[in-house]
């Protein structure tokens, strides 16, 4: 068993146990919390692969989150890191192409890479999906939390993302049913995307505790705010709701923390363990 796989199973066991800690939310509180799978079921399958999407769907995720980048020939792919080195075998396939930046490879080159073996031999042969492949895999079975990752590295990517998404029927259906959110941690970029696609709900990632001034500003154009759970408290949740904002928190991997977010009334929890969150929400 690989290191990442072993660690995932150990964390899953610990998270489940912590889910029964005192202070768990009631069923009345928990039913409305969205279970958002981070990069798919990112702790139990290789992140941002179709296998990770399929597992998250099996585990009851309400939304699947991803990361979007662009290849050298303009294709949109699902990849978290600026470099391909961590989650593929690019160093073996293209040893002379360091530092193996995603943007320096064509789609055909990226499709040669194994994006599963780093996680577990059982996932050998998984490929880096395109945005279209990812959207079609999610389909109507869950919502889509789409993230433009490091958009500063891909000038004009908002135009590419909008054009590609509009050409995919599954995206149109998801948008019409209110099951799409575009998020980013780059506020200027997200404003540009919002201007381009005002019908797509948008959420801003926060890496520090959002101030009241930031929340008030957010309420003038955002649909949701996405801070880390550890940077907020009940007051932030209440203030966001008072301003008409949804609040989705990341990345919450232990049951006790999930229960705390549920008790505060957050609208969504982004987690690498959607099966743990599913069980906690069911137990109420």
Three-state DSSP class for residue 101: strand
Fold of 3-80+127-283: TIM Barrel (3.20.20)
- C-alpha closest to that of 281 among 97, 68, 26, 90: 26
Count other C-beta atoms under 10 Å from residue 188's C-beta.
Answer: 10
Read off the pLDDT of each residue in 4-26 and give the average, rounded to a whole number. 45
As given in the structure block, the two tokens for residue 50 are: 């179709």
The pLDDT confidence band at residue 190, using thresholds 50, 70 and 90, is very high
Report pLDDT for 12. Answer: 52
The angle formed by the CA atoms of residues 125, 126 and 131, to the nearest 5 degrees, is 145
Q: Which two tokens stand for residue 30?
A: 């928990």
* Residues with catalytic function: 38, 80
Q: What is the pLDDT of residue 241?
A: 98
**229-248 average pLDDT score:** 98
Q: How many CA atoms lie within 13 A of 251 on its CB side?
A: 12
Q: For 67-104, b where at least 16 C-beta lie within 10 A, e where not — what string?
A: bbbbbeeebbbbbbbbbbbebbbbeeebeeeeebbbee
Residue range 66-82: mean pLDDT, rounded: 98
CA 63 to CA 36: how far, in whole Å?
5
How many angstroms separate the Cα of 43 from the Cα of each of 230, 267, 276?
Answer: 20, 22, 11
What mean pLDDT is predicted for residues 250-264?
98
Work out the burial of residue 241: count CB atoms within 10 Å of its CB; fewer than 13 is exposed, 13-18 middle, 19 or more buried.
middle
Nearest alpha carbon to residue 15 among 281, 257, 284: 257
Structure-token pair, residue 18: 């912590």
Q: Say yes or no to pLDDT of 179 above 80.
A: yes
Question: Any idea where the domains of the chain sit in the sequence?
Answer: 3-80+127-283
pLDDT, position 30: 39
Check: CB of residue 134 under 8 Å from CB of residue 170.
Answer: no
Direct distance between the N- and C-terminal alpha carbons of the chain, in angstroms, rounded to an integer: 34
Query: Are 204 and 185 a contacting pair, CB within 8 Å?
Result: yes
Whether this prediction's pTM lies above 0.85 is answered by yes
Share of the chain above pLDDT 70, in %: 89
- Give strand pairing partners of 141: none
**Nearest to residue 37, comparing CAs of 29, 47, 28?**
47
Q: Which of 31, 30, 61, 32 is nearest to 44 (CA)?
A: 61
CA–CA separation, 138 and 144 (whole Å): 7
Query: For residue 196, what is the enclosing H or E element?
Result: helix 187-196
Question: Please, which residues bridge with residue 68 across strands?
Answer: 78, 148
Residue 32 pLDDT class (50, 70, 90 cuts): confident
- CA 136 – CA 103 distance, rounded (Å): 23
């Amino acid at each position: 068993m690989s290191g990442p796989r072993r660690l995932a199973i150990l964390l899953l066991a610990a998270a489940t146990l912590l889910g029964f800690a005192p202070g768990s939310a009631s069923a009345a509180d928990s039913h409305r919390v969205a279970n958002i799978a981070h990069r798919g079921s990112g702790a139990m399958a290789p992140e941002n692969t179709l296998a990770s999407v399929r597992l998250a769907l099996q585990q009851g995720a309400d939304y699947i989150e991803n990361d979007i980048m662009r290849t050298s020939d303009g294709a949109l792919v699902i990849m978290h890191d600026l470099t391909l080195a961590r989650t593929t075998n690019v160093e073996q396939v293209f040893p002379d192409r360091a530092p193996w930046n995603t943007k320096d490879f064509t789609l055909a080159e990226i499709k040669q890479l194994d994006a599963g073996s780093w996680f577990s031999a059982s996932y050998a042969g998984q490929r880096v999906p395109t945005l279209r492949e990812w959207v079609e895999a999610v389909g109507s079975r869950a919502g889509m939390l789409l993230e433009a990752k490091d958009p500063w590295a891909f000038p004009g990517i908002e135009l590419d993302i909008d054009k590609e998404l509009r050409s995919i029927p599954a995206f149109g259906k998801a948008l019409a049913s209110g099951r799409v959110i575009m998020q980013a941690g780059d506020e200027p970029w997200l404003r540009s995307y919002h201007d381009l696609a005002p019908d797509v709900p948008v959420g801003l990632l926060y890496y520090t505790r959002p101030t009241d001034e930031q929340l008030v500003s957010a309420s003038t154009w955002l649909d949701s705010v996405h801070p880390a759970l550890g940077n907020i408290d009940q007051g932030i949740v209440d203030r966001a709701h008072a301003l008409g904002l949804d609040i989705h928190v990341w990345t919450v991997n232990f049951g006790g923390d999930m229960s705390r977010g549920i008790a505060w009334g957050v609208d969504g929890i982004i987690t690498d363990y959607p099966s743990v969150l599913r069980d906690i929400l069911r137990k109420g």
